[in-house]
Amino acid sequence: MEIIPAIDLKDGRCVRLYQGDFAQMTVYADDPVAVARVWQAQGATRLHLVDLDGARAGRPQNVDAVLAITQAVQIPVQLGGGLRREEDVEAALALGVERVIIGTAAIAETELVARLLNRFGEQIVIGIDARNGMVATDGWTVTSTVAATMLAAQMAALGARRIIYTDISRDGALSGPNFTALTELIRADGPAIIASGGIATLDHVRRLAQLGVEGAIIGKALYVGAISLPEALAVAQTVTSQP
């Protein structure tokens, strides 16, 4: 299982929100490039970037910061936030981003997603953010009437090979992942699942690895020191390598 540190960008800085609430924001670093280098130095094999301004505006906003990070590190980077048009996806990939995460467009623009999956294959990751089991969009400001499990099935039918699942109520709360919801999403013949939201202890990491998710995105727990990245990597490797 891959451990993926999160770098959330707002106004070019590295921040964290509590349950997606911009009014409950903590700034952890003014220089996200330095943060990216730290995670790489500690053994990260991938970084998860979120353009928070882009998610709210519907168009990428932190382009300069994203480019600076991709140029500063040698590990692959995935990016989400405001990527709702084909040209914006193209531009993100041109910045050196390896994977682009499609969230709001997955529910609002099915034809676009089908086209992107056909054109870019595994470079397109579907982001499913859920509140009480229902998909939330537009930077988590709108809760739809579509169940996360239903959207996952629809995206799998379109050819999606990877889904990032975030339980909004757990995000930034250090209360543990939603193991029940993740279990419902994992299918032997379905897309790989990456867990996000609430991961706060090495036991959470261990349980996720045992559950069979492909990756775990960790944000706040790393920034407040609840988990050390080298320890999380070691736990994930130990569980994954067990017969």
d(CA 112, CA 175): 35
Angle at 43 between CA 231 and CA 98, to 5 degrees: 125
Q: What is the pLDDT of residue 17?
A: 82
Q: Please pick, among 51, 53, 88, 129, the residue that the annotation labels catalytic.
A: 129
Q: What is the pLDDT of residue 138?
A: 77
Whole-model pTM over 0.75: yes
Q: Which residues of the chain have pLDDT under 50?
A: none
121 alpha-carbon distance from chain centroid: 18
How many CA atoms, within 13 angstroms, populate the side-chain half-sphere of residue 202?
A: 14
Q: What is the pLDDT of residue 238?
A: 87
d(CA 172, CA 129): 14
Q: Please pick, among 8, 53, 88, 171, the residue that the annotation labels catalytic.
A: 8
Q: How much of the chain is in helix, strand and coil states, percent to nearest 5? A: 40, 30, 30
129 is catalytic: yes
